[in-house]
Amino acid sequence: MELRGIKEALEASVIAGADWLDGEVEHVYASDLMSDVLAFGEPNSVLLTGLAAQQAVISAHMAAFKGVVFVRGKRPKDTSEQYALDNHLVLLSSTLDMYDACIRIEFPQRQACADPADADHGPKAGAILLQREFVIRGGDFAEAGLVSTEVKSLLKKIGFNPGLVRRVAICTYEGEMNVVMHARRGKVSLTVAPDVISVGIDDEGKGIPDVGLAMEQGFTTATEEMRAMGFGSGMGLPNIKNNSDELKIASEVDKGTTLRMKFLT
Amino acid sequence: MMTRDLLEKVGLKPLSQFTDRAVEGVFISDMVSDVMAGAKSGNLWLTVQTHKSIVPAANLVDVAAIVITSGKQVPQETVDLASKYDIAILSTGLATFDLVSKLQACGLGGN
């Protein structure tokens, strides 16, 4: 279905990306929790959400979605529009509530999910080794997700397949959000070799007392404010584990946490 | 339509202890503040939130039942709190979007 069809079915107005309404979407994902979008959303989906914040748009981009529809008449008041334009996403706003919006989208039977994008090109022969570092500021929700966006963009330019880029993007974003929510500051190190992409995230903060417990799905120490951002449902670390080929976590209470992630190309 | 009718018709699994009651309309949100603002008494509330804070919200708005979608594991303390306040918590492995068409087929409208 074209995004234009969704726009019409939902009587939605266009916030960004009027020129890209011919984009085809294959699935719909309805949620206000961004970790769920990252965990369960399929590529080429459209996100229906009531979270009117840039984190919704960044999550959609990380998960390789085509667009976002804000329901219940919501419109983001932050820099979402510019982010969407920079990253080729369509943003729509509908006054319908989530249930009516879901009903109005007449979708053919959901198909078994094979990511056709995964089938094509790998890294270009002779890809150069790339090494970059980025700084994350704890508590800075306005900037949260921009490091992951840059990482995704760099990997895409090199020419890695979209499925792999998506996995790295999701893990980096979850890691970045953890630093923003729980630490004072953090550093992301990206190292790209032809056969493996490594992402390290080191933070200075309160640390994790029990890493085993933190890895359990649903375990969370997030505050109400963080949940209002669509995060903190206890999906972050499990999401990273499921999307990476190797994950090592070390943490010391009152010092900080280090994540080492590897992705085989 | 009563809460217990939905269990069989839609394939929902009851988690808490509750008294059967009438269901009218559906409200979907994972943000508690939106539920407080928009859901109506007797609505079926679909969410992936499982934190125990959903129970006081459901109680205040007087929703007929909370449906936890996407097969989310619900913590025991959430279930216990719901039983204490006679709030139905039902669960399904379906994603929210996929559950909607089944509810619509049962004749449930929006709120």
Q: Which domains are seen in chain A, by residue range?
A: 3-104 (3.40.1390.20), 117-264 (3.30.565.10)
pLDDT of residue A173: 92
- The complex's ipTM works out to 0.84
The DSSP bridge pattern shows strands A246-252 and B13-14 to be unpaired
The DSSP bridge pattern shows strands A183-192 and B65-68 to be unpaired
Is-contact A153 A88, C-beta < 8 A?
no
Measured CA to CA, the distance from residue A60 to residue A182 in angstroms comes to 23
**Interchain contact A103–B (C-beta under 8 A):** yes
**Interchain contact B78–A (C-beta under 8 A):** no
Measured CA to CA, the distance from residue B96 to residue B69 in angstroms comes to 6
**Interchain contact A216–B (C-beta under 8 A):** no
CA B23 to chain centre: 10
Measured CA to CA, the distance from residue A217 to residue A194 in angstroms comes to 32
Q: Is the pLDDT of residue A40 over 60?
A: yes
User: In chain B, what are the domain boundaries?
Assistant: 3-105
What residues form DSSP beta bridges with A48? A30, A69
State the smallest CA–CA distance between residue A106 and chain B in angstroms: 9
Backbone φ, ψ for residue A212 (5° rounding): -60, -45
Structure-block tokens of residue A15: 């916030």
State the smallest CA–CA distance between residue B46 and chain A in angstroms: 9
Residue that the structure tokens 């590529």 belong to: A43
pTM exceeds 0.80 for this model: no
Which of A58-62, A183-187, B10-14, B51-55 bottoms out in mean pLDDT, i.e. has the lowest?
B51-55
* Burial tier of A229 (Cβ tally within 10 Å: 0-12, 13-18, 19+): buried
State the smallest CA–CA distance between residue B4 and chain A in angstroms: 21
AA identity, residue B54: I
Inspect the interface and report whether the beta carbons of A99 and B53 lie closer than 8 Å.
Answer: no
**Interchain contact A194–B (C-beta under 8 A):** no
Which CATH number is correct for B3-105, 3.40.1440.10, 3.40.1390.20, 3.40.1640.10, 3.40.640.10?
A: 3.40.1390.20
AA identity, residue A31: S
Using a CB-CB cut-off of 8 Å, the residues of chain B touching A218 are 50, 72-73, 75
pLDDT by residue for chain B (111 residues), tens only, comes to: 999 999 999 999 999 999 999 999 999 999 888 888 889 999 999 999 998 889 988 998 899 999 999 999 999 999 999 999 999 999 999 999 999 999 998 889 887
CA A265 to chain centre: 20
What residues form DSSP beta bridges with A251? A257
pLDDT of residue A26: 92
